[in-house]
């Protein structure tokens, strides 16, 4: 049975933090072969949204408040565990985050360029030029 959980950093247990960091490393460092500093001192200010399947994190993202990264609220570290891809969890978790942020006027993300269409379908619009972030093509996107 899947369930959504959203926690502040201070509400995360040591085991939660370990599992989140492990999953982020599996996806972004190992799968995408991207060497970068994942512990960027933003997690402490973020809300951590997870989809659990039988108490295992299968999808994750963080919601970053205004003024911590951008003037607007931002989403980041969005992922779906490899074993659970292709069943719509990415769309589910982003839509849930949008619902949680409805009070906010704008949401900005730095999306991997190959996911541009995915985010456009969720109401985001690309702006600016494509750029490299950790050697991966990205584009800024905004949802008003």
CA distance 6 to 65: 14
Residues 28-54 have pLDDT tens digits of 999 988 888 899 999 999 999 999 999
Residue 84: the pLDDT is: 95
- Tell me whether strands 107-112 and 73-80 are parallel, antiparallel or unpaired: parallel
* Pick from 99, 96, 97, 141: nearest CA to 116: 141
CA–CA dist 93, 63 (Å, integer) = 11
CA–CA distance, 40 with 29 (Å, rounded to integer): 14
Over residues 85-127, the pLDDT tens digits come to 999 999 999 999 999 887 777 999 999 999 999 999 999 999 9
Domains of the chain: 2-103 (3.40.630.30)
Q: How far is CA 68 from the centre of its chain?
A: 15
Task: Report the C-alpha gap between 128 and 141 in whole angstroms.
Answer: 9
Q: Are 63 and 102 in contact (CB under 8 A)?
A: no
pTM of the model: 0.92
Which tokens in the block code for residue 73? 């609220």
Return the pLDDT at 105: 78
């Amino acid at each position: 049975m899947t369930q959504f959980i959203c926690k502040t950093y201070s509400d995360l247990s040591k085991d939660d933090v370990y599992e989140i960091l492990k999953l982020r490393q599996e996806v972004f460092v190992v799968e995408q072969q991207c060497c970068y500093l994942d512990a960027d001192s933003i997690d402490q200010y973020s809300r951590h949204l997870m989809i659990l399947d039988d108490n295992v994190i299968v999808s994750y993202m963080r919601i970053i408040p205004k003024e911590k990264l951008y003037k607007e609220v931002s989403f980041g570290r969005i992922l779906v565990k490899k074993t659970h891809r292709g069943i719509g969890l990415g769309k589910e978790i982003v839509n849930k985050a949008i619902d949680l942020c409805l009070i906010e006027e704008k949401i900005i993300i730095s999306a991997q360029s190959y996911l541009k269409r995915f985010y456009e379908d969720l109401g985001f619009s690309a702006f600016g030029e494509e750029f490299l972030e950790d050697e991966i093509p990205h584009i800024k996107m905004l949802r008003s």
